Structure 1
């Protein structure tokens, strides 16, 4: 008796890591295409210009994608994490996922009109609430302090401009 050949679906399930290889390949092609079409002023920059890092990263992504694909096709499999304490028979926590998605979308919508300190405080507080914290007096204060500290560090110390919103003149 001969065993029937594995179905296409079971082959894909056994080689699911190829999906990661495809994503890395597409990302590498995207990074390289963007780097090669970048408009660059070549005057007086020396041998290392603004294209160097994206070209190295894109080439690295393509190399890792190729190595991963070869390894998977030769029978390599990723090891399951030993420290994971996840019950795969339980359904996902969609309430938390949707709350976090709403918080991130709200942050994206509010950062322009109200500035980073206010939108960031709402982001930090909303994420803490979505992830289960119910300290309604402490969490907003921590979120405001964390957001303000982040704003000051990035905007004033590191020189990365963030929208200040109504606090622009105060800080």
Structure 2
């Protein structure tokens, strides 16, 4: 039978000094709490939206009870609230679950054709909104997005796009008081 050397103050058994906090434990903690990065991003975006909304130069005369600051204030506040709630959940041990309901094959390459088509549609809408106005550029945006995402109903999609675009234009321009460029069609309608 062997005896262990006595530790400090005559205690029996081996003594071990506490291991210094290594870089691997820090990395492990960060890996286990990686969702905090999303919290930081949401917090930054929420702060940016609220700062922009509060420093917005607003005309005193409004068309209705809801001014142009209302939506950014609500969205910014919601972003901050979600950031805090998510951070609390992550620090209490909550973890996001992997998406199992998707039928996405991660071994397949990215669909660059769709990405490029959508990028082209968005860029074209941004360029055309000035000269053609929102109703036409918006209709092209809605129809082009549907086409890029796989819809091939050539008789129905342009009609739906036109209705969506005109409804969006009238909603923003008349009800919300956000002026959008009307283009040549607004003289006819």
Question: Does the alignment reach a TM-score above 0.5?
Answer: yes
Output one character per residue of 1:38-72: Cα deviation in whole Å (capped at 9) or x when no partner: 56799xxxxxx987876676455444323422432
Name stretches of at least 5 consecutive residues in structure 2 with no aligned partner: 1-21, 61-66
Match of residue 132 from structure 2: 114
Seen in structure 2, the aligned counterparts of structure 1 residues 63 and 146 have a Cα distance that, compared at 3 Å, is closer
1:26-105 equivalences under 5 Å are 26-38=44-56, 58=76, 61-105=79-123
* Of 179, 183, 187, the match for 1:161: 179
Gaps of 5+ in 1: 43-48
Q: CA deviation at 1:113?
A: 0.6
CA separation of 1:61/1:149 partners in 2, compared to 1, >3 Å: closer, same or farther? Answer: closer
Deviations 1:6-63 (A, max 9, x none): 4766654433311210111212322343355456799xxxxxx987876676455444
Offset at residue 130 of structure 1 (A)? 0.3
Aligned residue for 1:134? 152
TM-score by length of 2: 0.64
Distance 1:153 1:36 in 2: 24
CA distance in 1, matches of 2:69, 2:164: 35
TM-score (norm 1): 0.70
Task: Pick the structure with greater CA Rg.
Answer: 2
Structure 1 residue 162 displacement after superposition: 2.5
The Cα RMSD (Å) is: 3.6
Q: How many residues align?
A: 162
Counterpart residue number, 1:19 = 37
Indicate yes or no: 2:165 matched with 1:147: yes
Q: CA deviation at 1:139?
A: 2.9
Q: What SS does structure 2 have at the residue aligned with 1:34? A: helix
